[in-house]
Amino acid sequence: MSTPINPAMAATDLPPVMEARRWLDGVVFPADRPLINVSQAAPTELPPLPLRKALAEAALNDPAAHLYGPVLGLPALRAEIAQQWSVAYAGNIQENQVAITQGCNQAFAAALSTLAGAGDEVIIPTPWYFNHKMWLDMQAVRAVPLVCGPGLVPKASDAAALITPRTRALVLVSPNNPGGAEYPAQTLSDFMALARERGLALVVDETYRDFDSRTGAPHPLFSDPQWADTLIHLYSFSKAYRLTGHRVGAIVASESRLVQVEKFLDTVAICPNQLGQIGALWGMQNLAQWVAGERAEILSRRSAMIRGFKGLNDWTLLGCGAYFAYVEHPYALPSDQLAKALVQKASILTLPGTMFQPAGAEAAKRQLRIAFANIDSVGITEFFRRLHSLSL
Q: Which element (helix H / strand E) includes 178? A: none
CB atoms within 10 A of CB 34: 11
Torsion sign across C-alpha atoms 197, 202, 208, 209: positive
pLDDT of residue 17: 86
Q: What are the Cα distances from residue 29, in Å, to 33, 35, 210, 342, 343?
A: 6, 7, 35, 12, 9
Torsion sign across C-alpha atoms 243, 324, 153, 8: negative
Name the CA dihedral angle for 173, 178, 179, 184, rounded to a multiple of 10 degrees.
10
Distant-in-sequence, close-in-space partners of 246: CB < 8 Å, separation ≥ 6: 237, 238, 273, 275, 276, 279, 280
How many angstroms separate the CA atoms of 345 and 165, rounded? 49
42-93 confidence digits (pLDDT tens)? 888 899 999 999 999 999 999 999 999 999 999 999 999 999 999 999 999 9
C-alpha 14 chain-centroid distance: 18
Instruction: With a cut of 50, list the residues of the chain below it in pLDDT.
Output: none
Residue from 46, 21, 37 nearest 244 by CA? 46
Q: What are the Cα distances from residue 211, in Å, to 74, 185, 232?
A: 26, 16, 21
CA angle, 138 then 141 then 144, to 5°: 120
For the chain, domains (ranges, CATH) are 7-46+290-388 (3.90.1150.10), 49-287 (3.40.640.10)
Residue 294 carries which side chain, given as an amino acid letter?
A: E
pLDDT of residue 1: 60
> Residue 358: exposed, middle, or buried by beta-carbon count in 10 A (0-12, 13-18, 19+)?
middle
Claim: this prediction has a pTM higher than 0.75: yes
Residue from 129, 41, 113 nearest 268 by CA? 113
Q: What are the Cα distances from residue 41, in Å, to 37, 205, 266, 294, 347?
A: 10, 15, 28, 15, 18
**8 A C-beta contact, residue 131 and residue 108:** yes
CB atoms within 10 A of CB 140: 17
C-alpha 117 chain-centroid distance: 22
How many angstroms separate the CA atoms of 380 and 373, rounded? 10
Distant-in-sequence, close-in-space partners of 109: CB < 8 Å, separation ≥ 6: 135, 264, 268
How many angstroms separate the CA atoms of 168 and 88, rounded? 28
Could you write out the DSSP letters of every residue in 220-264?
-GGGSTTGGGTEEEEEESTTTTT-GGG--EEEE--HHHHHHHHHH
Q: Which element (helix H / strand E) includes 101? A: strand 98-101
How many angstroms separate the CA atoms of 388 and 379, rounded? 14
